[in-house]
Amino acid sequence: MDMRFIVVTGGVLSGLGKGIVTSSLGKILQSRGYKVAPIKFDGYLNVDAGTMNPFRHGEVFVLADGTECDMDLGNYERFLGVTMNYYNNPTGGKIFKLVLDKERRGEYLGVDVQFIPHVTGEIREWVKKVGRDSKADFVLIEVGGTVGDIENSYFIEAMRQLKLEDPMKTMFVHVTLVPELKVVGEQKTKPTQQSVRALQGIGVQPDFIVCRCDEPLGKTPRKKIALFCNVPEGHVISDHDCKSIYEVPFVLEKEHFGDMVLKAFGLKAKGKDLKEWRGLVHNILNPKKEVTIGITGKYTALHDSYVSIVEALTHAGAHEETKVKLKWIETTSLKDPAKALKGIDGIIVPGGFGSRGAEGKINCIKYARENNIPFLGLCFGFQLAVVEFARNVCGMKGANSSEIDPKTRYPVIDYLPEQFEVEGLGGTMRLGAHRITLKKGSQVSKIYGGKTKIVERFRHRYECNPKYVKTLEKHGLVFSGTNSRGDIMQFLELPDHLFFIATQAHPEFQSRLERPSPPFHEFLKAASRKH
């Protein structure tokens, strides 16, 4: 087996951007000609992130195979262009479920099932399977949480054992915080020393220490960290603040991180570079134009809840040399859409669940439709656009989604038939990548380069009620995309509008910096024209 494992742990506090460091290192290794496979370990006992509140946990990202997962996997796909699956996001829940199911089948017969060797053994096998299946040269394993947590301790233990199998093939990278005390004007290394000691206490010596800091890491703290934490000075990497996450690969390149990692493994670079990426980052940092996009939502306080949408806009902006300014619109008590949408060049109504804020969103959609403001509806936004059109154009008073008003006279959005059969709420929505057939000559088909067959990702229980499709169409709504069978509506558009497009899908999940999502790209261009 020729693959290598790079395990990324975090110290001092959470939210240091371990995921971005891992993605950026992956990007650098790719640029050196190597194939990488990322893994994110999440210690919680939920099988997946699908049942978690995005307000607490950040966006639920959806993979092509329908896995609902942590938003870090979105960064991996965006940075590395890889398509991941269930196995790229082992969670405490998945690991224990595996072990318990095996135990019930009698596969450990005769022994008492223990954390060591059974749980840790399954984790080692899991990690190797991902590497084998993706034929990776490097498996990058980000351990969620902070060193010292109970939740990830058995996982780090498994990684310690992995290194023991072949010490030359596994490496540990520890990401920590180096705070600067403003009054003293000094970068402090003690928290790093202590978190490295915690790691050493469970048998792991980090090979590299990546220091998150405001300003580039100074000479003295670098020396100190090397000496106290038992690594060569060149293995202390400064990961100081920069303007865009997409710039981080270059911050790390300046520190020779990629070269040092390859050297430590005894490997050589194999050509290639980050030229295209560099050009796009240049555009992000030096925009020529600016647009303001409104995003409605009830989790407006946390931009993490909509991170894929924000990134999809950033990607489109990079290609258009346009800075995207965001205006979050809380719709719970929105009365006057004209006031709320003042000064915006386009509006996105994203995915959502439940009734809170829905009327405000419907009002915003009406305003955008009537005032020729570019509108992009995503999933719930698509459903509410149908509701708005039914009410205000087709005259179906009180039309609604049965998710919001189960007693509505006109349930224009209703349960997908298959949803009547599901049991439980975990992983039971219509999930993952599905084929979409686009109407020839429609705006949407043009946006996708004239294609009539595309694939996007989904996450929903409700759909446009087929019973009302004809009436809606008769009044001018064009359903320009359906599933292959033609019975689930997936795209809608209004022909005489500057840009009024909505989709039951979540195209934001497939947007990449190098390859922005077509609907987002066109939406941004329309907003730019409006501006």
Amino acid at 217: L
3-state secondary structure of 270: coil
The binding track of 454-473 with respect to ligand GLN, each residue x by CB under 6 A or -, is -----xxxx-----------
Burial of 359 (0-12, 13-18, 19+ CB in 10 A): middle
Describe the crossing of helices 120-133 and 150-165 by its angle, rounded to 10 degrees: 60
3-state secondary structure 442-459: CHHHHHCCCCCEEEEEEE
* CA gap 199, 147 in Å, rounded: 6
**Is 508 annotated as catalytic?**
yes
Minimum CB distance to ligand GLN, residue 142 (Å): 26
| 68 tagged catalytic | no
- Per the CB < 8 A criterion, the answer to whether 333 and 353 are in contact is no
In this structure, what is the dihedral angle of CA atoms 441, 445, 449, 451, given to the nearest 10 degrees? -90
Residue 509 in the binding site for ligand GLN (CB under 6 A): no
* 379 near ligand GLN, judged by CB under 6 A: yes
Return the residues of window 255-314 that contact ligand GLN according to CB under 6 A. Answer: none
Report CA dihedral (419, 421, 423, 426) to the nearest 10 degrees. -30
Q: With respect to ligand GLN, which residue has the nearer C-beta, 212 or 361?
A: 361
Residue 145, interface with ligand GLN (CB under 6 A)? Answer: no
SS3 300: coil
233 is catalytic: no
70 binds ligand GLN (CB under 6 A): no
Q: How far is CA 332 from CA 176, 215, 300, 317, in A?
A: 39, 40, 11, 29
**349 binds ligand GLN per the rule CB under 6 A:** no
Question: Interacting stretch for ligand GLN, rule CB under 6 A, among 151-159, 172-180, 230-238, 348-356?
Answer: 348-356
Query: Is residue 249 close enough to count as binding ligand GLN by CB under 6 A?
Result: no
Minimum Å gap between C-beta 383 and ligand GLN is 6
Q: Among residues 305 and 443, whose Cβ is nearest to ligand GLN?
A: 305
Nearer to ligand GLN, 84 or 429 (CB): 429
Q: Is 352 in the site for ligand GLN (CB under 6 A)?
A: yes
CA-based nearest residue to 388, from 415, 407, 413? 413
State which residue, 122 or 403, has the beta carbon closest to ligand GLN: 403
Q: Does 414 bind ligand GLN (CB under 6 A)?
A: no
User: Which residue is catalytic, options 379, 388, 403, 521?
Assistant: 379
Q: Which CB atom, from 413 or from 472, has the smaller least distance to ligand GLN?
A: 413
* The binder of ligand GLN chosen from 38, 351, 357, 516 (CB under 6 A): 351
Q: Do you know the residue count of the chain?
A: 531
Which residues are at the interface with ligand GLN (CB under 6 A)?
A: 351-353, 379-380, 403, 459-462
Report, as residue numbers or ranges, the catalytic residues: 379, 506, 508
